[in-house]
Amino acid sequence: MPLYIGDYLADTMHLNTQQHGAYLLLLFHLWRRGSLPDDDTALAKITGLSAKEWNSTRPVLEPYFRVNEGVWQHNRVERERVRIAARQEKHGVRAKTAARKRWDKHTASMAQALLVDAIPEPEPQSEADTKAEASSASRHTLFRSILAEYWKAKNHTSPEMPWQGRDAKALSDLLAASPHLTEEQFRFMLANRSRSPVAHGDRVYLWIGNITRYQEEMTVFNRPASAGGHASRAEINSDSVRSAVSKAWDMAQEHAGGAGKTGAEPAGFVDSRVLVADG
């Protein structure tokens, strides 16, 4: 709400502080709500005055307003509301026009850029390439469906297999690296994995790259079950270390046994470049 201080003071020099405050509060309410009720209780509440204070203030402020059909109106406030609304509408139209021009210019620039930097259309594929692509896509779909069967069989609480880009890429990498992998071989390896003590709820991309190790069922120690025993790699390494230490101990005992025998005194090391005083 614009406030023209000069005009305001010229019209209100005779008001005291309380009357100034009440008058401004009435103007503010009228600007925000659009109307003031011709009701003393409501007007006293708007101005923050008691009923007695409002009764003495109303005769002073009422001449600034037009009381008509149960409402208080103010000529200056109404003119300003109309003027501000018209200005906002005008600015809105200008803003929309400017935005439309910027968009049209941007669209034209984009179209020009596409014409200049257009990527030439690829040459048509040969019939053999088209068939190869179709075969690869069909193979990918088949192996994915086999994985979905495996997942559903091992994850009864959540039978819908999670599948995202990284899972699809991992399967594509496997198929590209193993072009001769058949459906039967894939099912066979999945069957061995299903009997192995692994986390069957892991996402496909986490383990599909190692599926070829399941040529047979694996034990919890990551060893083929047909190999017999359940020694882990750590245990195997530990046995090797103990064996090496035992051999070293035997060699040390052998050398210790011959330490008392008399032999030729080893020759001293002499460096002619070192002074005797320096040792």
- pLDDT tens for each residue of 179-198: 888 999 999 999 989 888 88
Distance CA 203, CA 155 (A): 12
More confident residue, 101 or 175: 175
In angstroms, rounded to a whole number, what is the distance separating the alpha carbons of residues 189 and 70?
A: 90
Residue with token string 């090496």: 244
H/E segment holding residue 45: helix 40-47
Q: Give the residue-averaged pLDDT of 45-54.
A: 95
Q: Which residue has the higher pLDDT, 226 or 56?
A: 56
Residue 23: closest CA among 65, 80, 52: 65
The number of CA neighbours under 13 Å toward the Cβ of 64 is 23
CATH class in words for 5-73: mainly alpha
Query: Which neighbouring-strand residues pair with 37?
Result: 71
All CATH 1.10.10 domain ranges of the chain, comma separated, are 5-73
> CB–CB of 140/175 below 8 Å?
yes
pLDDT band at residue 269 under the 50/70/90 scheme: very low
Distance CA 67, CA 54 (A): 16
DSSP state of 120: P
Distance between CA atoms of 246 and 27, rounded to whole angstroms? 104
pLDDT-derived band at 228, boundaries 50, 70, 90: low
Tens digit of each residue's pLDDT (9 = 90 or more) over 106-163: 777 777 766 655 555 556 667 777 777 777 888 899 999 999 999 899 888 888 899 9
